[in-house]
Amino acid sequence: MIAFQDPLGQLPPQASTFAADHDALFYFLTWVSIGSFALILGLLTYSCVRWRRKTPDQPAASDVTHNTKLEVVWTLIPAIIVIVVFAWGFKGILPQQIAPADARKYRAEAYTWAWELYHPGATKSAGELWFEVDKPARVELTSRDVLHAFFIPAFRVKRDIVPGFRNQIWFQPTLIGDYTLFCAEYCGDQHSMMHRVVHVVDAATYVKEPWAALPETPEARGEYFFNMKGCLACHGTKADSPDPIGPTFFGIYGRKGRLSDDSEYTADEAYIHESIREPQKKIVKGRAPVMPPFDATSLSEEDVNDIIAWMKTLK
C-alpha cells in the first residue's frame, strides 16, 4: 500500500506510522470543505448578482419556500459524509490505544516548566529524546504538579499528562530527523518554554546511547543542564534579564542578600547546592516558594557542581 502523501505540504513531516492515516483523513475533509465552501460562495455570489434589488419595490423572483426532495438531499449528503468521517477517525485512533508488546519503554515526567525524560533502562534523566527509527516506543506520562500534554506534531500524537494518573502514549517513528516535543496543555507561566528536541536516529546511532553524552567542560555541562531542566523558564542569564519569578544568574555567585526571616545569606557553593536540592528551605525575601526540588535522579552531585561552575562564569 502506498502511504498517503501530503499534497500541499502544509502539515508537519510524516515521521510516524500514524501520520499518513491522519493526513489522508485531513485532506479528505479539506477537499470536501473547499468544495462546500466554493459551492456556498458561488451560490451566494450568483444570487446577489442575479437578483440584486434594482428598484425599491422589486418583489422576489421565486415563490418556492419548500421542497421536500431538496431538503432530504441536503440533509442526507452531509449526514453520509460526517458519518464516514466519524468512522474513519475512530478507526484511526484505535491502533493508538494499545502499544505493541515489544515497544521500548520510555518515561516522561512533566513539571512546571520542564521535563525529566528517561530512556529505556536509564536511571538518570536526559534533556532530549532519542528514538530508533522503525522501532515502536511507548512513553509513560506522569506529572508532578499540574496538567501538561505530550505533543509531537511530526508523529501526530498527543496525550494529556494528568497529575495523580498514569497515562501513556506510543508511536513508531519512521523518518530520521529532529522534531519537537511540545507541552500542549496550558500549565502556567512558562508553558511555552516546555519544548524539547526529539531525535529519530538509525540503529547504529541509537546503540551509542546518545542521550547519555554530555558536553566536555564542566561549564558547558552546567549550561546544558540549565537549558534542559527548565531553569531558563524562571531564571535569566543577563544583567538585564526580567526576573518576575526567580533571580537572574548573572553575577549571582557570591551575591549577598536577605532571606524571608530577615537573616542574611551569601550565594556560595553550599547555598546554591541547597537551593537546587531543597529550594523551599531558604526563601529569599520577597520571592514566592515556587521552585521545584531536583533530586539525584534528576541532577547528580557532579551535575550540580557543573551548574555552579557555569554560574561562576556569568559575570
Distance (Å, whole) CA 227 – CA 207: 25
> What DSSP string describes 277-307?
H-TTSS-BTT--S-PPP--TTTS-HHHHHHH
Interacting span for other proteins (CB under 8 A) from 123-131, 147-155, 212-220, 274-282: 147-155
**Residue 12 is a binding residue for other proteins (CB under 8 A):** yes
The contact mask relative to other proteins for 190-219 (x = CB under 8 A, - = no) is: xxxx-x------------------------
Q: Smallest gap, in angstroms, from Cβ of residue 312 to Cu ion?
A: 31
Q: Which residue has the cell 502523501?
A: 5
Q: Smallest gap, in angstroms, from Cβ of residue 27 to Cu ion?
A: 24
Q: Among residues 119, 148, 156, 229, which is the contact residue for Cu ion, using CB under 5 A?
A: 148
3-class DSSP assignment, residue 13: coil
**Residue 183 is a binding residue for Cu ion (CB under 5 A):** yes
Q: Among residues 1, 2, 63, 121, which is the contact residue for other proteins, using CB under 8 A?
A: 63
221 binds, among other proteins, Cu ion, none (CB under 5 to 8 A by kind): none
Interacting span for other proteins (CB under 8 A) from 100-108, 119-127, 131-139, 181-189: 181-189
3-class DSSP assignment, residue 173: strand
**133, 200 Cβ separation under 8 angstroms:** yes
CA triplet 27, 32, 35: central angle to 5 degrees? 125
Distance (Å, whole) CA 103 – CA 105: 6
Q: Smallest gap, in angstroms, from Cβ of residue 127 to Cu ion?
A: 16
**Residue 36 is a binding residue for other proteins (CB under 8 A):** yes
Q: Smallest gap, in angstroms, from Cβ of residue 38 to other proteins?
A: 10
Distance (Å, whole) CA 181 – CA 179: 7
Pairing of strands 129-132, 196-201: parallel
Q: Smallest gap, in angstroms, from Cβ of residue 283 to other proteins?
A: 15
Interacting span for other proteins (CB under 8 A) from 126-134, 176-184, 200-208, 273-281: 176-184
For helices 301-313 and 218-228, the axis angle rounded to 10 degrees is 100
> Which residues inside 89-108 make contact with Cu ion, applying CB under 5 A?
none
Say which residues have a Cβ less than 8 Å from residue 183's Cβ, sequence separation at least 6.
110, 113, 148, 149, 150, 151, 191, 194, 195
> Which residues inside 189-248 make contact with Cu ion, applying CB under 5 A?
194
Q: Smallest gap, in angstroms, from Cβ of residue 271 to other proteins?
A: 26
**Residue 263 is a binding residue for other proteins (CB under 8 A):** no
Nearest to Cu ion of 148, 199 (CB atom): 148
Distance (Å, whole) CA 249 – CA 1: 55
**Residue 283 is a binding residue for other proteins (CB under 8 A):** no
Distance (Å, whole) CA 260 – CA 274: 16
Nearest to Cu ion of 187, 231 (CB atom): 187
Distance (Å, whole) CA 120 – CA 291: 28
